[in-house]
Amino acid sequence: MPLQRQLFELAGADANLRFSPYCWRIRLALAHKGLSVETRPWRFSDKEAIAASGQGKVPVLVEGDRWLSDSWAIAEYLEQQYPDQPSLFGSPEGHALARFVNQWTNDVLHPAIARVILPEIYAVLDEGDQAYFRTTREAAFGVSLEQLTEQREAALEGFYKTLKPLQNTLAAQPYLAGDAPNFADYIVFGAFQWARVISGTISIPSTEPVGQWIERMLDVQGGVTRKAPKAY
């Protein structure tokens, strides 16, 4: 009997709208490992559905009777559990340096994108999630969603500035991991997929290295990210 595998993914009011950057990382990681998965829409208010994971955020991967959370920890689990499938990190050095890419994405790239798209995320959430989302995000960024909408131009400018090291890296090689993508690429691409599913505002010209890399990434793993329903 094949192992049952389920992935809880953040969804909007429309259950087919899957936008969480951390969930996209794992969808791509599972495909990279050749592992099938049943995805399940999840909303911020569904804490009970994932209580067995011992925490309250997605992605949550259920494999048999194991409940796993945290995208980095899930990737490390998959790497260890399926060593004969294509590697997510390639080598110990690749693994260690992917952690820096992970932190840069979480600490720098995500906040820069969030300042642009948070109001649009709010608009597509299930009603039951909106109050929670507004409260937590306004506290985190120290401004209201309405102020973020007003500040969008400045936020877009800030976002483009954060891309500089990424542009210069991808000008020299096709993927962050080199000649082929691995989990480091999925980490960063998750952020762009988040922006792409939610908003047409953020669009990187295909004349730029990051724009060209995005086009390549939209084709990897059978084009799973390109096919994803968008909010607009």
Binding residues (CB under 8 A) for a second copy: these are: 89-104, 106-108, 164-166, 168-169, 172-173, 175-179, 182, 184
Token digits of residue 179: 């000649």
Of the pair 145, 176, the CB lying nearest a second copy is at 176
Q: How far apart are CA 76 and CA 79, in angstroms?
A: 5
Q: What minimum distance in Å lies between the beta carbon of 86 and a second copy? A: 12
Write out the E strands in 57-144: 60-63, 66-69
**For residue 62, which phi and psi values (nearest 5 degrees)?**
-110, 120
Cα 115 off chain centre by? 16
Of the pair 101, 231, the CB lying nearest a second copy is at 101
Of the pair 42, 175, the CB lying nearest a second copy is at 175
Q: What minimum distance in Å lies between the beta carbon of 89 and a second copy? A: 7
Of the pair 17, 101, the CB lying nearest a second copy is at 101
Is cis: bond before 165, omega within 30 of 0? Answer: no
Contacts of 230 (CB under 8 A, 6+ apart): 17, 196, 197, 198
Q: What minimum distance in Å lies between the beta carbon of 225 and a second copy? A: 21
Contact 40, 67 (CB under 8 A): no
Q: What minimum distance in Å lies between the beta carbon of 78 and a second copy? A: 16
Of the pair 97, 228, the CB lying nearest a second copy is at 97
Token digits of residue 193: 């997929």
Q: What minimum distance in Å lies between the beta carbon of 178 and a second copy? A: 3
